[in-house]
Amino acid sequence: MDPVDDPAPGSIVEVSTLRMVAGGDGLGRLDDGRVVLVEGALPAERVTVEVTEVRPRLVRARTVDVVVPAPERVDPPCPELARGCGGCDLQYAAPASQPGLKADVVLDALRRIARLDDVPVDPGAPLPADGYRTTVRAAVVAGSAGFRARRSTEVVPVGSCGVAHPLVEELLVDGVFDDATEVVIRVGARTGERMVVAHPTAAGVVAPGDVRVVGTDELSRGRRAWIHEELGGHRLRVSAQSFLQARPDGAEALVAAVGRAIGDLSSDTTLVDLYGGIGLFSVLLGAHAPVLVERSAAAVADARVNLADRDATTLKLAVRRWRPTAADVVVADPARAGLGADGVAAVAGTAATRVALVSCDPASLARDVASLGTLGYRPLGVELVDLFPQTHHLEAVTTLELVEPERRRATA
């Protein structure tokens, strides 16, 4: 194929890809050196692409044909992909290869953003790629649940979903959600409890009798609704508005990785659980007197129930409003934007000697690690937990240790 000097949207060119970037696209270069991000391409492939967007320093494209495939390329297993569903964007990579691809994305972010090239990144063990998701958010069109097409507002009705837990899939496919524009379906895989949260109203929802159904209009008027899930041998309450990790085996794997990061807790270890949610880490790690900081009222109410047998301090506060108290270890699990300046100051303000930073975005991970580095925290390694197989999403636990803890303690 002839080289194209200045491809316009719609033109067809051939590209060799070098690596995967955050978001799952394959990165290649055009003949003029411009970066091209290719949807549907794996590293080290030769692909024919259709250009979809042209900017001065960046071109976007989508794969139309694979000329030389990577060894890990497979046929996507889900029939919904061909119908336009944008939910699982990494299905063309063999599941066993996905943790390694994601580890490379984290290594790249650490190199480019934090200027660190010596932090080991462990891809972790793959988790089952089928029927795993116990929480799913879906759009609703004409009373039926659907997923958005990739990079589009168009909604594709759900005929089946290979990654949804069967108890979720049944509601996704058969549920009637008249009057709603969006639903969140959540189940306890080990308790069998199910819940549908419909936005803006649950007035037209038709679901089996065992399903707790609530509208966001009722929640905003003060109604409470929750289900339970069993994690690490504990029965945890999770309310309609509280965060819960998207799969129980993944939640347990994440807790195990955090446990490896911070080491064994003794009865007098002080643990601060920042962005603590319903108390997952404090409960499963066996903290005796954790300090949990969380801004969601629903999650704090759950945490108080889940930690009722501990000497826990549960603070309904935004992290930036918290006045840090001394701690031995910190677990910090912020939302996608990461710790930012406030979270970094909160972590460092504890003078904890060990920190487990849980991140779901490679760029914010690298930014937070760089910022903590300026305050004396050295990253020892990153461990990935592949909570979301078949998608580009990742979850990573970074272990950091305080260098010169004695000096910092003296000044804390």
Ligand X SMILES: C[S@@+](CC[C@H](N)C(=O)[O-])C[C@H]1O[C@@H](n2cnc3c(N)ncnc32)[C@H](O)[C@@H]1O
Q: Which residues bind ligand X (CB under 6 A)?
A: 243-245, 275-278, 280-281, 293-296, 299, 318-319, 333-335
Q: Which amino acid is at 133?
A: R
Token look-up 């042209």 returns 54
**Residue 167: φ, ψ to 5°:** -70, -25
Residue of 25, 85, 18, 15 lying closest to 50 (CA atoms):
15
Query: Residue 394: phi, psi to the nearest 5?
Result: -135, 160
Q: Report the residue number, 156 or 355, with the smaller CB distance to ligand X.
A: 355
Query: Nearest Cα to 237, choosing from 294, 293, 297, 298?
Result: 298
Least Å distance between CB 395 and ligand X? Answer: 9
Measure the CA–CA gap between 76 and 90, rounded to whole angstroms: 8
Q: Tokens 């801004």 map to which residue? A: 295
Print the SS3 string covering 252-302: HHHHHHHHHHHCCCCCCCCEEEECCCCCHHHHHCCCCCCEEEECCHHHHHH
Please state the three-class secondary structure of 177-246 as a single string.
EECCCEEEEEECCCCCCEEEEEECCCCEEECCCCEEEEEHHHHHCCCCCEEEEEECCEEEEEECCCCCCC
Could you tell me the two tokens for 95? 């599941």
Decide whether 296 or 353 has the Cβ nearer to ligand X: 296
8 A C-beta contact, residue 133 and residue 168? yes
Of 140 and 292, the one with the shorter C-beta distance to ligand X is: 292
Residue 85 falls in the annotated catalytic set: no
Q: Which is nearer to ligand X, 144 or 359 (CB)?
A: 359
What is the spatial distance between Cα 141 and Cα 149, in angstroms, rounded to a whole number?
13
- Write down the least CB distance from residue 204 to ligand X, Å: 29
Least spacing, CB of residue 73 vs ligand X, in Å:
32
Catalytic residue (choose from 85, 88, 161, 360):
360
Report, in Å, the least distance between residue 358 CB and ligand X: 7
Amino acid type, 313: T
Pair of tokens at residue 155: 């909604």
Q: How far is the CB of 180 from ligand X (least distance, A)?
A: 23
Q: Give the nearest distance from C-beta 335 to ligand X in angstroms.
A: 5
In the bound state with ligand X, the residue whose beta carbon lies nearer, of 60 and 237, is: 237
**C-beta closer to ligand X: residue 15 or 255:** 255
Three-class SS state of 53: strand
Q: Which residue is nearest to ligand X (CB)?
A: 277
Taking the complex as a whole, the smallest distance from the CB of residue 290 to ligand X amounts, in Å, to 11
Contact 373, 115 (CB under 8 A): no
- Residue nearer to ligand X on the CB measure, 177 or 243: 243
Residues taking part in catalysis: 360
